[in-house]
């Protein structure tokens, strides 16, 4: 997506440069089309989504490409949007904004995230201190020949 000024001094900038500092008016329609590399379509969605009026339209082009498809899939299950059209060819999708604001809540409350990676499946292993066997081996095994290569490759034996 590139932006041209309507003022007498035109400018051309990539959307990822322009949108974060833009002062956007209230919008009726947003077309997301342009650079398809990650994360540009998501930037193109993020900044104008809250400026889009309730009842306004968001068009995601090139949903046959992975970045467009992920964005369309995200919006399809988000209760803040209503999918109006998902073209059978996979070329585009159209969504209507149902509520405001778009960006509130936490990531665990987003339906797309819940369906893709259920929160219960995320486990953070707490660090544990080395046990008696590891401590014994650090005293027995030669540092330079055995411990140093093992620690560099496998982080074992772990430092106390």
Give me the pLDDT at residue 138, please: 72
Domain identity same for 44 and 65: yes
Domain identity same for 158 and 101: no
In sequence order, the 6+-apart residues with CB closer than 8 A to the CB of 55 are 96, 97
Give me the pLDDT at residue 126, please: 63
Distance between CA atoms of residues 97 and 28, nearest Å: 10
Domain identity same for 12 and 74: yes
Domain identity same for 140 and 112: no
What is each CA distance from 66 to 42, 49, 116, 119, in whole angstroms?
A: 12, 20, 15, 23
CB contact at 8 A, 96 and 69:
no
Give me the pLDDT at residue 107, please: 76
Which residues in the chain come in under a pLDDT of 50?
Answer: none
Give me the pLDDT at residue 86, please: 92
Domain identity same for 116 and 138: no
Domain identity same for 147 and 74: no
Closest to 48 in 3D by CA, of 36, 66, 60: 60
Give me the pLDDT at residue 110, please: 80
Structural domain span for residue 72: 2-120
Domain identity same for 35 and 102: yes
Closest to 76 in 3D by CA, of 52, 101, 94: 94
Give me the pLDDT at residue 109, please: 78
Domain identity same for 29 and 107: yes
Give me the pLDDT at residue 148, please: 73
Give me the pLDDT at residue 104, please: 81
Residue with tokens 């990822």: 16
Runs of H (alpha helix) within the chain: 15-18, 40-49, 66-77, 111-116, 132-140, 148-154
């Amino acid at each position: 997506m590139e932006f041209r000024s309507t003022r007498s001094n035109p400018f051309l900038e990539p959307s990822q440069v322009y949108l974060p500092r833009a002062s956007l008016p209230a919008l009726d329609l947003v077309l997301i089309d342009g650079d398809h590399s990650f994360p540009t379509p998501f930037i193109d969605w993020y900044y104008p989504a809250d400026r889009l009026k309730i009842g306004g339209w968001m068009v995601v082009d090139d949903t046959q490409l992975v970045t467009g498809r992920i964005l369309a899939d995200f919006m399809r299950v988000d209760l803040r949007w209503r999918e109006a059209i998902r073209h059978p060819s996979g070329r585009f999708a159209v969504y209507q904004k149902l509520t405001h604001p778009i960006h509130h809540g936490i990531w665990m409350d987003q339906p797309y995230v819940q369906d893709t990676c259920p929160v219960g499946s995320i486990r953070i292993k707490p660090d544990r201190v080395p046990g008696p066997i590891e401590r014994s081996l650090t005293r027995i095994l030669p540092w330079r020949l055995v411990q140093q290569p093992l620690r560099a490759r496998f982080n074992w034996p772990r430092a106390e």
